[in-house]
Structure 1
Amino acid sequence: MTLPPRVTDRAFARLAEIAEATGDTKALRVAVEGGGCSGFQYDIRLDDPAEDDVIFEKDGMKVLVDSVSLPFLSNAVIDFSEELIGARFVIENPNASSSCGCGISFSM
């Protein structure tokens, strides 16, 4: 069954921290593009909503996924991780058959 991705409370909270620190209330865009070392790569950046976006919203914070990327992110979890190697938004994607050490590139 195809389900939309889920955004964790931790990801929304980090987005709110970024907005508070920068004064910028742009949404977090999560997109899938061709390329990277494994065939596909995630493009995660702050952006404005577009017409074909699916918008996930909590407490005024928004996460955007465009209609082309949506099938690649079915049942995925969009999260924020803080580890010794750094803090970043991460995607836990059950559709990815393998991923690269960079955490941005994957194959299906």
Structure 2
Amino acid sequence: MPLDRPEDSGTVILTQAAANRVQTLRALEGNPALHLRVSVLGGGCSGFQYKIGFDEAVQSDDRVFETDGVKLLVDDTSMEFMTGAEVDFVDELIGAAFKINNPNATASCGCGTSFSVF
């Protein structure tokens, strides 16, 4: 169930489920210093796509959001497309993955990896 959207438009929410998954993956990697990084890149069938990965370093242009000791890093350029978004982790019968619920996306592709804001 999605959380209520924040009043502060400069916020991205990292759900507890996503934070729990990052903690599990950090333990498997043996590296508690890993942060979750989400970026928006040009590409995909709808115009933009998400890149999700780990990073040990916080860059000078990063916005940092934290849930239960897990940091989510989003660079300033990506924030233009992600303001008000929610980064979640879903574990369903068809698979488990990080999922981004983005109120700025006006359309997305069938696989959910790319989106449009126009």
> In which range does the TM-score fall when normalised by the shorter chain?
over 0.9
Contact 2:15-2:67 within 8 A present in 1 as well: no
Paired residues in the alignment total 108
Offset from partner CA, 1:47-70 (integer Å, 9 cap, x none):
132121111123332110001101
Q: Secondary structure at the match of 1:33?
A: strand
Which residue of structure 1 lines up, in the alignment, with residue 43 of structure 2? 35
TM-score (norm 2): 0.85
For 1:24 and 1:58, how far apart are their aligned partners in 2?
18
For 1:33 and 1:27, how far apart are their aligned partners in 2?
19
Q: CA RMSD in A?
A: 1.3
Contact 2:10-2:79 within 8 A present in 1 as well: no
How far has the Cα of 1:12 moved from its partner? Answer: 0.7
Which residue of structure 1 lines up, in the alignment, with residue 101 of structure 2? 92
Which residue of structure 2 lines up, in the alignment, with residue 16 of structure 1? 23
For 1:57 and 1:5, how far apart are their aligned partners in 2?
10
For 1:3 and 1:65, how far apart are their aligned partners in 2?
11
TM-score (norm 1): 0.92
Show structure 2 runs of 5+ residues with no match: 1-6
Show structure 1 runs of 5+ residues with no match: none
